[in-house]
Chains A and B, each alone.
Chain A
């Protein structure tokens, strides 16, 4: 092997100013070092704010002010990249070092054709011109496994799927046969079945051309399947490095170990995530009795709390300048039932109609056809406001995006109790202490109830959302991708919390997610959906261990495999 590494980063520090004078700075990268040999695939893993993307941008000279490269060196084939001019970087980018962006739909310019965007990269980085460049573009797309390559050149990004767009981005990245590609979360924005084939294409291309890859990702499964060598980062600091198997399964550092323990596994179901240093919840005083108090109506004789029969939902789009009115069937004839106290998961890729089902049960969308019987009552028959209120109180929701689901002008406490106050379920005097109790219940500080949502992290906001739902003393909570916007360690904590609360308050959960591993860990029964149809419905073990439907099998096969820490 060649002795000079392809890329070598030594003690790199990059800062962002936190105030206008620049006296207070955030160290996005703190004295980080890295080495890549040619043809090697290395992974950089870490949670948000770890500085993963900053490394990628620093290598390509894409760090824009106010980011500042304070110290350290970056050497590519022995030559320093620090302080190169924009023009010098232009000749390096695309030509020597390629770049792949996280979200292919935003990486391609929406108003230019695919052809123009591929060909401009060819013209900029090779000596080809005209017809030759056009033919080479077709050839590149074909090599990136894009079908109908010639036709696709005529298209615009929004006309193609995310997976295809990402393949086109790959084609652009390899156009000039660079020696290194920086791939920043290349599959995160894609559905799981697309993810694995796209990733295979990337690996294939790099092997054919002998291109080294720096794979930046938060997905441990992806790293475990593709990388030779891994670096773990946290808050800009280098935590651990080593051979992939070594780092993932027998980590030396505490942080790496807790990170690995947080990864939901698909192979086996655990009672809860084995997280170190998980705090016990204490100090709830006055309102616990109130929260645990049973509702007056007793349905304990009836095991089934929710019965959904043949529901369908059709959305209509109004006619526009260029298209007539259009109908789209989001949910087709779906039936299932949920028993008291159990967790039922709906899993499917984007556009499968899984959230729409939940919204219909909540009463947020009209039901086009079919029946939803909740606690013995058909929700189509709810017409007076009293029944409607009873329905809403009994069914609550935890939303996907913790950033937009809280009112930013109200404190956390007000967010938790304002609905209760409107319905006069609690007076303002008790509202405050109830909010504080709920904060403690979800693992936050009592006094934090007076803070505004923006002073909380994403995970903490989601806890506030859970507290808000619990305040209504619901029987049933619809969880719509509650952790998909969160880091894996935060997710593990939150899922543990949900399990604890479910036991404590005998809640029934309907859990929607695109993440099979999360569903595997959380749910007793699972419904697999695709294009609005329920393809398979069965117990957790049946679905994950003996899937019947071909689509379920393909979903499971596509999941990147990670065995978990060695001691389990």
Chain B
């Protein structure tokens, strides 16, 4: 186990290095931050001073080593644009993304899995076909279009929910959260639902195919022959087995939500991390982009690890493998 964790750490280290190289040099090719930051009134002298100030006058490899050297000591650099430590910027916005991603995932799992199990068991029923129709539509229409429809219906016509911003936030553990107040929750609702639509559809499909596979296993028939109730068969015998593939996908999906909810965050002006990434790429704010992507890489490695452990927890055959 310890050997395995060490191996995982080693792999993630290599991944982080590769990632930093690609992003660092990739952004260098895209454009010159000095040009992006300077306005019309800047003289050549001003620009040179700015470059020296940002450390952009040195050779690229030297910039890379200075930057990564700092990162190893916990210093993720200073944003070119905001002139503030990158870590502060990210940590300021991460909670907003986290809370909305988790809410979306909870909605996705909470609605998707029961729908999937239902349509798996009642495979040929009309209800099951209707559910499958809607999940196919939900899965294949563009996310931004769904967002616009949501805004039109709930914010413009019905005026039940606000369409943009994060609303009131309250502090917990020194971090500002929106979900602690009703107003904040109302603001979260639309973007979270927007993100959740895809997840509901995906979970429904996963749970449905899982159910159909497990339902015809002999232990399901035997469980019925034992005389235990249908309810218990679904809760213990079925659910436990279909969760195994669902956990893998859900792990990756959570990562994807946190890292790449950029479109939704932009449409709903949600001050999350996705929006920060988009702005930073625009401005070639290299420290922010590099730090962000490395953190995301590490997050995926961590999620994969958690998925492996969950796997072993759910499936004793993996735990006791010979």
A interface residues, Cβ below 8 angstroms from B: 60, 62, 86, 90-95, 98-99, 101-103, 106-113, 116, 120-121, 124-125, 156, 158-159, 169, 172, 176, 317, 320-323, 326
Q: List 11 A-B contacts (CB under 8 A).
A: A62-B225, A107-B218, A108-B219, A110-B219, A110-B316, A124-B227, A156-B320, A159-B316, A172-B226, A317-B322, A322-B320
Q: In the assembled complex, which residues on chain A have CB atoms less than 8 Å from the CB atom of B312? A: 321-322
Q: Is B43 an interface residue (CB 8 A)?
A: no
Least CB separation from A57: chain B residue? B221
Main secondary structure, interface of B, reads helix
Asked if residues A60 and B226 are in contact (CB atoms below 8 Å), the reply is: no
With contacts A321-B318, A323-B322, A326-B322 taken as known, whether A93 is within 8 angstroms of B224 at the C-beta atoms is yes
With contacts A156-B317, A321-B4, A322-B1 taken as known, whether A125 is within 8 angstroms of B227 at the C-beta atoms is yes
Least CB separation from B215: chain A residue? A64
Least CB separation from B320: chain A residue? A159
Asked if residues A121 and B219 are in contact (CB atoms below 8 Å), the reply is: no
Q: In the assembled complex, which residues on chain B have CB atoms less than 8 Å from the CB atom of A90? A: 227-230
With contacts A158-B317, A322-B318 taken as known, whether A91 is within 8 angstroms of B219 at the C-beta atoms is no
The 4 tightest CB contacts between A and B, nearest first, are A94-B227, A99-B225, A93-B227, A156-B316
Scan B294-322; emit 1 where CB is below 8 A from any A CB, else 0.
00000000000000100010111111111
B204 to chain A, nearest CB (A): 22
Asked if residues A112 and B225 are in contact (CB atoms below 8 Å), the reply is: no
Partner of A120, one of B224, B230, B232, B308: B232
Q: Is B217 an interface residue (CB 8 A)?
A: yes
B246 to chain A, nearest CB (A): 13
Q: In the assembled complex, which residues on chain B have CB atoms less than 8 Å from the CB atom of A159? A: 316, 320
Which residue, A94, A95, A321, has most C-beta atoms of chain B within 10 A?
A321
A304 to B241: give the CA distance in the assembly, Å: 54
Q: In the assembled complex, which residues on chain A have CB atoms less than 8 Å from the CB atom of B227? A: 90-95, 121, 124-125, 176
Partner of B230, one of A86, A176, A323: A86
With contacts A90-B230, A109-B237, A111-B316 taken as known, whether A60 is within 8 angstroms of B321 at the C-beta atoms is no
Q: In the assembled complex, which residues on chain B have CB atoms less than 8 Å from the CB atom of A101? A: 218, 221-222, 225
With contacts A106-B219, A156-B320, A322-B1 taken as known, whether A111 is within 8 angstroms of B226 at the C-beta atoms is no
Asked if residues A322 and B321 are in contact (CB atoms below 8 Å), the reply is: yes
Least CB separation from B236: chain A residue? A112
Asked if residues A108 and B319 are in contact (CB atoms below 8 Å), the reply is: no
A155 to B237: give the CA distance in the assembly, Å: 16
- Chain B 121-164 interface residues, beta-carbon cutoff 8 Å to A: none
A116 to B217: give the CA distance in the assembly, Å: 18
Q: Is B11 an interface residue (CB 8 A)?
A: no
Q: Given A109-B237, A321-B308, A321-B312, 10 more contacts at CB 8 Å?
A: A86-B230, A90-B228, A91-B227, A93-B224, A103-B218, A106-B217, A107-B219, A111-B316, A121-B226, A156-B317
